[in-house]
Amino acid sequence: SREQALRRIAKELVRQQIEARQLALFEEIQEESEMSVRALEEQVAVLRQDVERTRELLTRERDDRLSTVLPKRFQVREVRVLPLALTYLVPATAEDLQP
């Protein structure tokens, strides 16, 4: 997940920062180390923003569903009574009663 990736990059960042603090024999190595630290810091910032945006989106979606969608879905608009069956009573005639 993003949070696991964030933790992994944070560990790598700490390792790179420690490595960058050590004096390098060549200036190019020191510059590469500093560039990798900056790149990792940027990755951490992007991941944190993404996690925060996702949390905000999920919070808004949850609030919208709880306050708008569910009440509308279960709202009683009107009461309608519909007959389930009809019964017709027809009086018997003399012809019906003959065997």
> How far is Cα 60 from Cα 65, in angstroms, rounded to an integer?
9
Q: Is the pTM of this model over 0.85?
A: no
Query: Which has more confidence, 24 or 8?
Result: 8
Do 54 and 5 touch, CB atoms closer than 8 A?
Answer: no
| 89 backbone φψ class: left, alpha, beta (φ>0; ψ -120 to 50) | beta
Residues 6+ away with beta carbon under 8 Å from 43: 9
- Structure token digits, residue 23: 């004096």
pLDDT in tens, 22-42: 766 677 777 887 888 888 889
